[in-house]
Amino acid sequence: MTESPLQNESKSAVGSSADAGETTATSRRLASLSDRYREHTLTTPLEVVSFWSAIALPFLYVPLLLTGISTQGELLTFVGLLVLNLAALLAGHGHKRE
C-alpha cells in the first residue's frame, strides 16, 4: 500500500530522536547559563538601572522630535538613543518579575 503525500510530510516533520536530544541538550545549556546569570552579584543592580533607563530614555527623544532632525549629528544621536533604549529594555526586562 502506498502512502499519501500528506502522510510522508507528517513523518518528515517529526524529526529524529537525535534532533530531540540536541534540543534538550541546548535547552539544558541555556537553563544553566540563565541560572549562572541570575546568581551573579551584579545582575540585580544592572537590571534595576536598565529598567529605569528604559523608562527615562524616551524623554530624551522629545526635544529632538520637536525641533526636527535636520543634521546628521541629530540623526546619529536619535538612532543612538533608540539603540541604547533597546539595550536597556532587553537588560531590564526581568526586573521585579518574581
- Provide the residue range defining the domain that includes 52: 42-98
Q: Does residue 98 share a domain with residue 57?
A: yes
Same domain, 32 and 49: no
pLDDT by residue for the chain (98 residues), tens digit each? 555 554 444 444 555 555 666 778 888 887 777 666 666 666 678 888 888 899 999 999 999 999 999 999 999 999 999 999 999 998 887 777 66
Q: Looking at the 3D structure of the chain, how many domains does it have?
A: 2
Tell me: do 46 and 76 sit in the same domain: yes
CA distances from 69 to 22, 56, 61, 78, 88 (A): 49, 20, 10, 8, 23
The answer on 90 and 49 residing in a single domain is yes
What is the value of pTM for the model shown?
0.55
